[in-house]
Structures are given as C-alpha cells and as structure tokens.
Structure 1
C-alpha cells in the first residue's frame, strides 16, 4: 500500500523525467540492434577461421588485405620478383610432400620448438606428414610428444646400422690419424665420428629410407631452427609450379680444412661422366675460374627444401657412390651441404635452384630476416633485420648467387 501511495504522490515533473529516460534506453537499444544488423550484412559471407587468423590486427592497405585462399594482392619480396617466379593460389590440393627430421631421443626438447615454429608458421594450414629418423629406437615419450605437435601423420623410422657406421672399405688407422690431426688443428667436429655418420647419411642415404619412398617433395627440418615469419603459400606447390628442384635460404662458405680433396674428386667424376653434367649448369656459382677450383660457396642445408627426385636421379646416385667410395666423408670431414650444393649446381638447370626470401630463419649461429619492412609486417615476422647475414659480402654467398643468375639485388643491398 505504501508503494502505491508513493507512486500516486510522485510529482508530475519526476514522472515525466522517468518516462523520458525509459524512452532514451529503448531508442539506444534499437540503434544498437540496427548497427549490429548493418555490420553483419556488410561482412563477406566467405570469411573463414583461417582468413581471420591471417588478418589479425588493424587492416592496412596492401598489408592485411589478402585472404587465406587468394594471393592476388599478396606482397611478393623483391627477390621473388627478381627471380621471375609466380606464387600459385591455394587450390586445396596437397602436394606429395613430407617434413624430414633426423633426431635422437635426447634432441626432443630442442626439437619441440622447431616443430612448433614450422607448424605455427606453415604446416597448420596444410597438414603435411612428418617423418622422424633415428639410428636408435625412438622412445615412447618422443613419439607421444612429437605426434601430438604435428598436424599431419607422424612416422618414425630406424636407420639401418650399415648406413650409420663406418663403411667396410674405410682404413681404420688412416681414420684415426685424421681424427687426431683435425683435433690438434681445432677443426670444427674434426674428431667426431658420429658427425661423419650424420653427414654421410644426410648426403646420400636419407632419401633411400623406406618411409620416404612414397613422397616426391621434402623439407628438411633440423632440431634447433627458428622460423620467424608466417609462410603465406604452399612451399611445395610453389616448387612444382615454378619447376624448381632445390630451395635454400642461406648460402655460406665451407671450412676449407674439412674438404681438401672434395673438388679434385668431383673433377675426376665429371671427367668420367661428362654426360651427367647439365649443359645449363650453375658452375659459375661454385667456381670463380670455370671449374679449376672450388670457391667454397654452398647452400646451407639446415634449411633445405626440394625434390627427392634430384637425389634419386642417375647423376646424383653415381656421384654420391663415387664420393663415398673415395672415403672422403671419413678421411676428411665432408659435409652434406657442400656435397648437395655442388651436385645441384652441376646436375640441375640453373633456373631450377631457388632462393627463398620472406620466411625468416635462424640456425645457430646465422640468421636470415627479410630486408623489406612491408614484407616483415605482412608476414608477422619477429626477427630483427639488423641481425640478418644473408647479404654479407665475404663469408656469405647469396650475393654471389644473385650475380651469377643475373638477378637484381634488393634495394639497399
């Protein structure tokens, strides 16, 4: 009763104020609903979860205006334009490709970071398989952790003992002398036999593993790499469409003390098998005097992506067997990187080798970071461009690669 009485006694002016406020609330609610409907009508119906993940942040013309399926307005690095390549649109069809990692069980907690970088920056969109190889049995923990991180199928293989041990034709006394001499001269990994096993396996045996026979393309992922930028296109499709067989990010000079006879052995091979050397080869990248000497330039294989058919070819099969029988992987300390680089330069058409830019990459102790700020922003790169070593003029060879290919260098390089 008191409440009713108070309402009856409420002044007319107070009643009008209350009614006016109620009207404002109703009008405001109606306006909000109308704006929401207009916003929904304005948003394209094709927006997907993937597109949203690629367009985070404030939209800026030319930076975040591309969708997850169309690359028509995707900014290409200056180096890609110089190499006259095209970036194919994603058609939803995966290539016959795989990630490959050589690892031991003790590498697990370094490897998880590499896997996350590759998955977050690239493979979560494509779900390519991942093959892990080890000279021992993988532990259950290794399999549980890594299979939970990869978006494709995880496969685990053991390397045959004969592929990860000293070959029967190696003179053990000569090897022991080499190990001592290299240790005394502080040659990096010079006294390590396991490192020699790894180099020999990566050079000519990894692609022979049964788990890899079904694939055509591969990306070698090492246990301690970083990918700094979003990769906005399918790297494997890019290689196929542009007829590329081998791709790299960094190019450096090899330690001469590890390969004193690699080039002389290669020259003997070329003399015996001249028909296997491609007529349009890239000899001028690896030699400054028309093949008389090796200038030590090679593609750093800590990032290596390409066609498995290159290594399965007659030319490379014969070349690796020739090198292997010479004993240089053990009597010296031949790395897989110079061996692969020399082979790619000699056996491929020079146009089939590609320099990848815009990805951002680190493997101790070298770092690649795109020189163009708009590319770094577009690809959400987290690298410091002042630490980039790609275009160094002395120890690094990317500049040499561009000059021999008649590609224009990026502005400011």
Structure 2
C-alpha cells in the first residue's frame, strides 16, 4: 500500500521530472540573459584586478614637467567623506604615484566638516599638495537655490538627501565659481573611488590647453530617464529663446521631432572623472543657462543629476 508498482512512476517522481525539465529550460534560455546582464560587471572586475596587480610603483617624469608653473593654474578636485577614508587614501595614493608626483597639481578635498584637524594633518603628511576646503551647510556653495527652501515641494527624498542635492548643485554650478575666485584655470574632478592605475606621463591640463580642448571625459553612460526629467525640454526651449541652432551632436541623441525627456536617448557623460576649462563654464551664455537651471530647481524638485545637466550644457554650447 502506498508503493508504486514495478514499471510505474510515483506522482512525486513525475513532479520531480517536470521540475527538472522546467529548470533545464530556464538554464538554457536564461543563461544568455544572465550573461548579458552580468558579463560587464564580471569583466570589469577581472580587468580591475589585473590592472591593480600590474600597476607600476612609480612613473617616469618627463624632463619638461614644470609643476611649479602649472600648479598655480590647475586643480584636482574631490568631494569627500570621512566614512570612506580607506577608498580616499587609496585613490590619493594612485593619483600621487601615477601622475601628481611628476606634475604636482593642487589637490582640493571638499568636505562638510567631518574631517578633524588631526585627520587633515594625517592626510597632508602623506600628500603635501592636498588642501582641505570646508563647505559649510547653508553657506554660499552648499545650500538650496533661492525660493526652494520649502522641502515639501521636493521630489522623493528616499536615498537622495538634501546633502546629495547640494552636491549635485555644487558640481553643475558652484564649483566653477569657487575655483575661478581662487585663480584656477583648469580642474579635474575625481571621486574617492576613482583610481588611476597606470602612469600618465604627460600634463593632462597642458595637453588640453595646447590642443584647444575644453572638456574631456572618461566614458559615457545611459542615465536613468527620471534623473533628467524635464531637462531636455528646458534645453530645447532655451535654444529657441536665444535663437541658437541645435547642434549636430544634440540632434544625434534624440529620436526626431522635438527634444523631450521621452525622445532623448539618455546618453550622458560620466562626469565623476573629467577635466575642463573653468572660464568656459563662467562665460556669460553658459552662466545664463545654468542660472535658469538653478532657478528652476529641477535638481531639488525632480532629482535631476549633475551629469545630465553638464552633458546638455556641453552639447548645447561647445
């Protein structure tokens, strides 16, 4: 009783057979999709491990490296947090070994007060060209644009604090003003998880200037559409208002008709690692556009990121 006769399959055996068949189908058809999704991550991880293992301990300095002159004009900028101390120190170590030991640029670390005097002394002991710059909450460079103080009007704050939105504003507008006031002509933005893993044996800033380049970036990415909500419409309206033609590059990034959030292809500069000339961003036409973006409050009301704002600005005017 309860046992299957010889030659017959029990219900459990049949069920197991069906499950195995379903799993086989999932594996066969799902594996390509899984590889498509995770292959970039896997290859990036492998390449990063190989690059880290093969990184040189020091680099050749060209005989014409004039760090004393260049240091007065060029800055490397990082917005940092003490809780990411280990990443920051590793990033600074790679920067020093593979570029800055030769070219001796000012390294400006912007923070919100979480680095004590002792912390700053410790960092500068290893990297003397580092300067700490304090961005006070509510100060000129770290605050809400006028008219947006009522936070109830802001878009979802889940995962995107006021500090995050101040950071966005700092990178699309305020950093250029800050650096210009201190006499810098060029700046490179890095994050604390930006690692220069091989030698750069030429002055990046001098190369940009000698070749009349205004903007350099590491790679492009597809941005979340919500992180640029209404920005394409603003760009289109502004270009029509000032009577400027739409650039060929801008045309190449939306699907015909009128430029809009829906028609834009989401192509965006990854500006966490970039180099640019400050005076271009401080020119009158650019400032008028950025003031309009700032006044609109889209970085606060809709959580629009600094990367798409910077991308549209460059494509519109450069």
Q: CA RMSD, aligned part only?
A: 2.6
Quick check: 1:254–1:298 contact (8 Å CA) kept in 2? yes
Structure 1 counterpart of 2:163: 194
The runs of 5 or more residues in structure 2 that have no matched partner are 1-56
Q: Residue 146 of structure 1: which of 99, 123, 126 is its match?
A: 123
Of the three residues 181, 184, 201, the one matched with 1:232 is: 201
1:297 aligns with 2:272: no
Equivalent positions of 1:3-402 (< 5 A) are 54=59, 68-69=61-62, 90=64, 92=66, 94-95=69-70, 96-136=73-113, 138-150=115-127, 152=129, 154-160=130-136, 161-162=138-139, 163-170=141-148, 171-175=150-154, 178-179=155-156, 183=158, 189=159, 191-209=160-178, 213-275=182-244, 282-289=249-256, 292=259, 293-348=263-318
CA distance in 2: counterparts of 1:210 and 1:270, whole angstroms: 27
- For 1:398, the equivalent position in structure 2 comes to none
State whether residues 253 and 298 of structure 1, in contact with CA within 8 Å, keep that contact through their aligned partners in structure 2: yes
Question: CA shift at 1:291, angstroms?
Answer: 5.8
After superposition, the C-alpha distances for 1:138-157 in whole angstroms (9 at most, x for unaligned) are: 411331122123353x3222
Q: CA deviation at 1:101?
A: 1.2
Q: CA, structure 1 residues 165+53, in 2 after alignment: closer, same or farther (shift >3 Å)? A: closer
Spell out, residue by residue over 1:273-294, the C-alpha distance to the aligned partner (whole angstroms, 9 max, x if none): 235x6x8663245334376242
Q: Describe the shift of the 1:205–1:331 C-alpha distance in structure 2 as closer, same or farther (beyond 3 A).
A: same
Counting matched residue pairs gives 253
Distance between the aligned counterparts of 1:150 and 1:99, measured in 2? 13
CA distance in 1 between counterparts of 2:223 and 2:217 reads 15
Cα distance in 2 for residues equivalent to 1:69 and 1:172 = 52
Superimposed CA distance per residue, residues 47-75 of structure 1 (whole angstroms, 9 cap, x where no aligned partner): xxxxx955xxxxxxxxxxxx7537xxxxx
Distance 1:319 1:211, change over 3 A: closer
Describe the SS at the equivalent of 1:220: strand
Greater fraction of residues in helix: 2
Contact 1:123–1:151 at 8 Å: present in 2 too? Answer: no
Distance 1:134 1:53 in 2: 29
Gap regions ≥5 residues in structure 1: 1-51, 55-66, 71-89, 184-188, 349-413
Matched residues in 1 for 2:168 and 2:227: separation? 12
Larger Rg: 1
The separation in 1 between residues aligned to 2:218 and 2:212, in whole angstroms, is 18
Q: Structure 1 segments of 4 or more deviating over 4 A?
A: none
Deviation string for 1:216-268 (max 9, x for gaps)?
Answer: 01111211122222112111111011110100111001101222211111212
Residues in 2 aligned to 1:112 and 1:227: alpha-carbon distance in whole angstroms = 13
CA distance in 2, matches of 1:308, 1:322: 19
